[in-house]
Amino acid sequence: MKIIVSLSGGPDSVALLHKLYKDNLTLAVHFNHHLRENANKDEAFCVDLCQKLGVEINVIHLNVYEYVKTTKTTLEEGARELRYKYLFDILRETDFDKIALGHNLNDKCETILMNIVRGTGIEGLNGLKAEKGNIIRPLINMTKDQIYDYLKENNLSYCFDETNLENNYTRNKFRNIIIPSLLEINQNLFGSLSRLASIAEETENYMEEETQKAINALENAPSPLQINSLPKAIKHRVIRELIVKVKGTTKDISLKEIERISEFLDKGEEFVSFLDTGELFAELKGGIFKIKKVKSIEKPEPFSYIIDKDEIYIKEINKTLIIKRIDEEIKYNKKRFYFDRDEGFDFSLTNIEPSVKIQPLGLKGHKKISDILKDNKVPTETRYMNIVLYKGNCPVWVPGVVMGEKARTKSPTHFMELK
């Protein structure tokens, strides 16, 4: 097998490389994050180690600070995301089979405890798997102490990461504070958590099989009746998988969000609900439930029209504003703007500016039009293909969305409509 080994120079990755290099064609990849004072020394150590073992090494320099600045992640998350990106890039561009990581049993147990504290389902109790897709973890069933014994037996030196002693990172708090305290209560903590992970994995595999059966039965047109007939645990997983199918990743999909969509489906009424990620929305329309990807927002060029006639074509959004005299019973709704022409005719319209605020009819305070559009579940891709009507300098109407408090009139004679 041809294996890419992620080599930091620490005890785990050194033991990993040493275990693999004799029986496999290996490529070591070292990442210099330039975050620590000894980063260059670690790089030199890894290069020297690979020369002694006769292993090819690829050194990659990362600009983590620049990455987290643009992605708004933490340094820890940003460094991890960059490492995975480059490792998978190398895997795609070469004929190597797997990526080997040096996670051990301690790491697995730390992950389980962190997931429990943060809030997790059964999947989070699995911890780190020995193999998942193209990633393998050959040391996952070895404790840290066993790894140190292996290094000593084979006379292998390694680098020490001094930041492991700092408790600024969540994982270090678990490693240095929480787990030592738990070990005082249960000396076999790692064994207990490892058994829990095995049970969780068996349960997870069964649930996954049942979820896939349900999804296959739903085919391409799932209805709320079909989904609501499922056991709650399977129902939630089906919703999650439908999201993953469109989103392409499980990242940022929360149980709270899945429960919210589940409650909408229970009601059986048509709805549109944007997901917290902002990239997707759930929709129940015509009896069919779907997860859809938000299309790119089309914003027209800025425009402004003085309303000086009874029919104005707005070419930027391909719609026409029509003014008519009232000759039927008044039916107040957001699609029509009623006014008294004898009170003065000082109207204009512009395209929607997200920061503009309006005082909705019946409310005391003002609210951003962009927030009103979002609250009204106006699809993102059509959110700006609309107008704002002004009376003087005051916004009074967004057709079909909101009527302003300043739109009040006692005896309307005419109305406006956007068609």
Of 105, 107, 101, nearest to 171 (Cα)?
107
The tens digit of pLDDT for each residue in 348-369 reads 888 887 778 888 877 778 888 8
Higher-confidence position of 153 and 340: 153
Q: Is residue 316 within 8 Å of residue 333, measured between CB atoms? A: no
Q: Where are the domains of the chain?
A: 2-190, 219-293, 304-418
The pLDDT score that the predictor gives to residue 188 is 94
The pLDDT score that the predictor gives to residue 104 is 95
The confidence band for 55, taking pLDDT boundaries of 50, 70 and 90, is: very high
Eight-state DSSP code of residue 286: T
The pLDDT score that the predictor gives to residue 84 is 95
The pLDDT score that the predictor gives to residue 297 is 58
The tens digit of pLDDT for each residue in 141-185 reads 999 999 999 999 999 999 987 766 777 778 889 999 999 999 999
Indicate the residue type of 111: T
The pLDDT score that the predictor gives to residue 277 is 61
Residues 290-298: contacts with CB under 8 Å, at least 24 apart: 290/222, 291/242, 291/243, 291/245, 291/246, 291/247, 292/246, 293/246, 293/247, 294/379, 294/380, 294/381, 295/380, 295/381, 296/381, 297/380, 297/381, 297/383, 297/384, 298/381, 298/382, 298/384, 298/385
The pLDDT score that the predictor gives to residue 305 is 87
The pLDDT score that the predictor gives to residue 286 is 83
Query: Any idea which of 26-40, 200-214, 375-389 has the lowest mean pLDDT?
Result: 375-389
Q: Please report the beta strands in 371-413, taking only residues with DSSP state E, as ranges in sequence order.
A: 387-391, 394-398, 402-403
| pLDDT > 80? residue 413 | yes
Summarize the confidence of residues 102-131 as an average pLDDT. Answer: 90
213 by Cβ neighbours in 10 Å (0-12 / 13-18 / 19+) ranks as: exposed
The tens digit of pLDDT for each residue in 281-334 reads 788 888 888 888 776 556 677 888 888 888 889 888 888 888 888 877 776 778
The pLDDT score that the predictor gives to residue 380 is 64
- Give the CA count within 13 Å in the CB-facing half-sphere of 74: 5
| pLDDT > 90? residue 31 | yes
Count other C-beta atoms under 10 Å from residue 60's C-beta. Answer: 15
The pLDDT score that the predictor gives to residue 161 is 78
Of 88, 74, 42, 48, nearest to 61 (Cα)?
42
Percent pLDDT > 90 in the chain is 42
Higher-confidence position of 342 and 65: 65
| pLDDT > 80? residue 379 | no
Which top CATH class is 2-190?
Answer: alpha beta
Q: Which two tokens stand for residue 164?
A: 């492991």
**What does pTM read for this prediction?**
0.64
Exposure b/e, 165-185, CB count within 10 A at least 16 = b: eeeeeeebebbeeebeebeee
